[in-house]
């Protein structure tokens, strides 16, 4: 295989909503380049890009797939990304290591929520975008309506490169307004017949051509002057103008294709080869020190690993981008992220599961190697003397959680190792061993996301697992002051145990004045604060302890033991066993014994005094509240609102955004456990949402009573 230089390499992410036809388009691209001799299909389970068992089982992409195409003496590295929102992490990774996004739009359903989400990601990363309107041969295809919808949502930067002469099952021809030619195909697609534009289409074609010329000229002052002087541009000048417009995102070209019939695919690839910016044309990425790292083949060798996976019949595969320098087989590199040494024995170009060994890869190229010793996703490997590291991929917060456990408890350690490996393959799968909830919490982007992991663990690793409803991390606090005392006394021959503690507790707020006097019934308790400890709690809030002991009632050496007793109860609240927070405790009196008093006595006395005082302080349970933003089509907005209100949501606002309605609400985490599934069901998969922790708020009284009853019943059972 030819060695491609940096100025001959283009990196492209193939994106779009689920079902838009990306994998089928990838097959057509590979066929047109001669990489494959026969196009596979999803139904036949023989496509290049969907080769994992779980993808064949479900019939949709789960992983991003790297493939290359040698076309017009250039190398196109393409990453085909899953369309389902649950697997958005793959698309985010791909966009960070490529330079251009090709977004596939289904001509039957137009711009879907997933299309908008991925477009926003492209915008945030400032990546050029090309649209491929696919499935123009579908029964419900409507080019005019979809192109108008795209202009409404994405603005007047949408520029048609082609338009179809007819749509639906009879689609077989289109007008290319860049080349000003008519393209038509036989029933099997493939090589087109190229003709002059028929008289009946000349006026429309000329109008669209003029719009394209103007859009191209806007991106270059020289071209603009020539356009004003002569009224037209040559084909090469238009390409240059479009290339610059793509690079600064001032133009979004739209192509027409039928991936299934291989119509229009070759023409789109010609555009990718001739017009799309090269690696070196795009802004250089920044390393963690904020320095630009240009793709220089003669620079220091630096490789960024953006994906690791375990593949059938191969084992562990590491996918990388050569950020700088030239990579050759047998080179020794330092993994600066993990501080280990690695030898890259093989350097491969990738086409799905086919790995082709090559002699070298230059800066900007994408490849893979196998069986690295200690390499994880996100690691940087450098030659000696180079200390660059890269950390530019930012993943979205999880939206769906389940507690996970092995069906057989003896397999707990084995499951832990599998989950760690899964996280390496897809960082949007997050695993947490929750000490508070006493559960292993698996978080992801949606139900399908977690169901896919379950399928893989049970079918690939042969380990049966169980998903449980995750417990909610409630918090406990108090709403008024209360007083309690407790004497711990134990005598069993010899030295005994004795400790007596008197405390006052009250709700704590930041900046509140020092304690002075409390009145309970007819008694008044005056506090003389000797010292104060503020203990920030890992789970939020504080425990503040004021030592108000006078006259030596309790020796100072026992105060830390009392504080330990308080922390015992703070870590397991008296109401539901949840963490407590925001409490101030004044230790104002007590008794000790010259022989029997010890640390354990005062620890137990402090713990029990706190429990009693807490129960008398009108305790309340707090629940986590999340800010939730839901993007929905207007026709189902009422149904989505009703569902949210049924989940105790407080609607904070509504707005329109690019043809969709945005609902902002505050929703208890308890009510969000199955929300992704419910939203998909209500809207037919046309909506998406994000959620972010906001605060802890008091639960309603009826919910608190239910929680207390459940906790009491559980303790009786145990």
pLDDT tens digit sequence for 139-166:
999 999 999 999 988 988 999 999 999 9
Task: Share the mean pLDDT of the chain.
Answer: 91
Which backbone phi and psi does 347 adopt, to 5 degrees? -120, 120
pLDDT per position as a tens digit, 634-646: 889 999 999 999 9
pLDDT at 165: 94
Q: Which residue has the higher pLDDT, 203 or 573?
A: 203
Mean predicted confidence (pLDDT) in 199-218: 90
**Mean predicted confidence (pLDDT) in 171-182:** 94
Residue 223 has pLDDT above 80, yes or no: no
Q: What are 4's two structure tokens?
A: 């491609």
Residue in this structure with the two tokens 């302890």, named with its chain if needed: 545
* pLDDT (0 to 100) of residue 57: 81
Find out whether 17 and 111 touch, Cβ atoms under 8 Å.
no
Q: Is the pLDDT of residue 171 over 90?
A: yes
Mean of the pLDDT values across residues 608-627?
Answer: 94
Q: What is the pLDDT of residues 287-320, one digit of tens each?
A: 999 999 999 999 999 999 999 998 877 888 999 9
What is the average per-residue pLDDT within 616-623?
Answer: 93
Q: What is the reported pLDDT for 577? A: 87
User: What number is the average pLDDT over the span 455-469?
Assistant: 93
Instruction: Report residue 172's pLDDT band, with 50, 70 and 90 as the boundaries.
Output: very high
Query: Which structure tokens are listed for 61?
Result: 């992409």
The pLDDT of residue 633 is above 90:
no
User: Alpha helix (H) ranges present in 363-446?
Assistant: 412-425
- Report whether pLDDT(224) > 90: no
Residue 718: the pLDDT is 55
Q: Which residue has the higher pLDDT, 696 or 189?
A: 696
Contacts of 498 (CB under 8 A, 6+ apart): 487, 488, 489, 490, 591, 592, 593, 596, 597, 601
pLDDT of residue 658: 65
Highest mean pLDDT among 113-117, 390-394, 687-691: 390-394
Q: What is the arithmetic mean of pLDDT over 114-127?
A: 90
The whole-number average pLDDT for the span 433-451 is 91
User: DSSP string of 101-130?
Assistant: EEEEEETTTBS-HHHHHHHHHHHHTT--EE
pTM over 0.85? The answer is: no
What pLDDT was estimated at residue 232?
72
pLDDT tens per residue across span 673-712: 889 889 988 988 778 888 999 999 999 999 999 998 888 8
Q: Is the predicted pLDDT of residue 65 greater than 90, yes or no?
A: yes
228 pLDDT above the threshold of 80: no
Between the CA atoms of 371, 372, 376 and 380, what dihedral angle is there, to the nearest 10 degrees? Answer: -140
**What distances in angstroms separate CA 425 from CA 63, 272, 279, 311, one per listed residue?**
9, 29, 26, 11
Bridge partners, 158 (sequence order): 252
Nearest to 75 by CA among 351, 317, 294: 351
pLDDT attached to residue 405? 95
Mean pLDDT of 62-69: 91
Q: So what's the pLDDT on residue 529?
A: 92
Residue 430: phi, psi to the nearest 5? -115, 135
Estimate the crossing angle of helix 113-124 against helix 88-97, to 10 degrees: 30
pLDDT band at 554 (very low <50, low <70, confident <90, very high): very high
Placement of tokens 């006259």 in the chain: 551
Say what the pLDDT of residue 455 is: 92
Give me the mean pLDDT over the 565-591 stretch: 92
- Which residues, listed in sequence order, are joined to residue 10 by a DSSP beta bridge? 76
Pairing of strands 531-536, 523-526: unpaired
For the cut 80, the answer to whether the pLDDT of residue 219 exceeds it is no
- C-alpha triplet 55, 57, 59: angle, nearest 5°: 60
Separation CA 438–CA 159 (nearest Å): 55
**How many whole angstroms separate alpha carbon 310 and alpha carbon 217?**
48
pLDDT value, residue 659: 67
> Do residues 506 and 543 make contact, with C-beta atoms less than 8 angstroms apart?
no
What are the structural domains of the chain? 6-281 (3.40.50.300), 302-382 (2.40.30.10), 400-471 (3.30.70.870), 476-618 (3.30.230.10), 621-703 (3.30.70.240)
- Summarised one tens digit per residue, pLDDT across range 505-533 is 999 999 899 999 999 988 999 999 999 99
Looking at residue 493, its pLDDT comes to 67
Mean pLDDT of 52-70: 86
């Amino acid at each position: 295989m030819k060695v491609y230089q940096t100025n001959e390499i283009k990196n492209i992410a193939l994106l779009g909503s689920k079902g838009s036809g990306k994998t089928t388009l990838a097959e057509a691209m590979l066929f047109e380049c001669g990489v494959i001799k026969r196009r596979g299909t999803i139904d036949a389970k023989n496509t290049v890009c969907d080769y994992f068992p779980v993808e064949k089982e479900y019939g949709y992409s789960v992983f991003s797939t790297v493939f290359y195409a040698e076309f017009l003496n250039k190398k196109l590295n393409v990453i085909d990304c899953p369309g389902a929102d649950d697997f958005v992490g793959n698309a985010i990774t791909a966009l960070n290591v490529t330079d251009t996004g090709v977004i596939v739009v289904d001509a039957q359903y137009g711009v879907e929520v997933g299309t908008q989400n991925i477009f926003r990601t492209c915008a945030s990363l400032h990546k050029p975008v090309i649209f491929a309107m696919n499935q123009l041969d579908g029964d419900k295809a409507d080019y005019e309506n979809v192109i108008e919808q795209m202009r409404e949502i994405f603005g007047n930067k949408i520029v048609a490169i082609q338009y179809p002469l007819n749509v639906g099952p009879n689609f077989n021809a289109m007008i290319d307004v860049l080349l000003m030619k008519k393209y038509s195909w036989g029933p099997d697609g493939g090589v087109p017949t190229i003709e002059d534009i028929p008289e009946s289409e000349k006026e429309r074609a000329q109008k669209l051509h003029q719009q394209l010329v103007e859009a191209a000229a806007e991106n270059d002052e020289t071209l603009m002057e020539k356009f004003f002087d002569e009224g037209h541009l040559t084909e090469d000048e238009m390409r240059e103008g479009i290339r610059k417009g793509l690079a600064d995102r001032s133009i979004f070209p739209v192509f027409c294709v039928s991936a299934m019939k291989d119509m229009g695919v070759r023409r789109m690839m010609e555009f990718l080869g001739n017009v799309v910016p090269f690696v070196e044309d795009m802004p250089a990425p920044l390393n963690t020190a904020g320095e630009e790292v240009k793709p220089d083949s003669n620079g220091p060798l630096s490789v960024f690993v953006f994906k690791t996976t375990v593949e059938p019949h191969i084992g562990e595969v590491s996918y990388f981008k050569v950020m700088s320098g030239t990579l050759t087989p047998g080179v020794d590199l330092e993994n600066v992220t993990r501080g280990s040494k690695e030898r890259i024995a093989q350097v491969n170009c990738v086409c799905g599961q086919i790995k082709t060994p090559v002699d070298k890869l230059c800066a900007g190229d994408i490849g893979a190697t196998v069986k690295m010793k200690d390499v994880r996703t996100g690691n940087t490997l450098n030659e000696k003397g180079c200390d660059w590291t890269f950390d530019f991929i930012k993943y979205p917060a999880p939206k769906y959680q389940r507690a996970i456990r092995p069906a057989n408890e003896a397999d707990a350690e084995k499951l832990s190792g599998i989950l760690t490996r899964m996280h390496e393959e897809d960082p949007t799968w997050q695993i947490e061993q929750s000490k508070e909830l006493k559960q292993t919490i698996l978080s992801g982007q949606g139900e399908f996301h977690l169901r896919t992991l379950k399928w893989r663990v049970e079918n690939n690793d042969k380990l049966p697992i169980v998903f449980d409803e995750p417990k909610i991390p409630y918090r406990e606090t108090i709403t008024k002051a209360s007083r309690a005392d407790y004497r711990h006394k134990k005598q069993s021959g010899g030295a005994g145990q004795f400790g007596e503690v008197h405390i006052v507790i009250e709700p704590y707020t930041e900046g509140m004045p020092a304690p002075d006097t409390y009145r309970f019934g007819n008694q008044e308790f005056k506090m003389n604060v000797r010292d104060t400890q503020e203990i920030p709690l890992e789970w939020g809030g504080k425990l503040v302890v004021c030592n108000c002991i006078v006259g030596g009632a309790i020796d100072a050496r026992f105060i830390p033991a009392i504080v330990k007793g308080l922390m015992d109860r703070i870590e397991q609240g008296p109401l539901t066993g949840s963490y407590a927070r925001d409490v101030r405790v004044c230790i104002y009196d007590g008794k000790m014994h010259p022989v029997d008093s010890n640390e354990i006595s005062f620890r137990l006395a402090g713990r029990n005094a706190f429990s009693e005082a807490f129960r008398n302080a009108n305790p309340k349970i707090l629940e986590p509240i999340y800010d939730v933003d839901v993007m929905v089509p207007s026709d189902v907005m009422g149904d989505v609102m009703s569902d949210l209100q049924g989940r105790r949501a407080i609607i904070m606002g509504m707005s329109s955004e690019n043809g969709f309605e945005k609902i902002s609400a505050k929703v208890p985490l308890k009510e969000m456990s199955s929300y992704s599934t419910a939203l998909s069901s209500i809207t037919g998969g046309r909506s998406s949402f994000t959620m972010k922790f906001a605060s802890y708020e008091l639960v309603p009284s009826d919910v608190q009573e239910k929680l207390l009853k459940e906790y009491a019943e559980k303790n009786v059972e145990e």
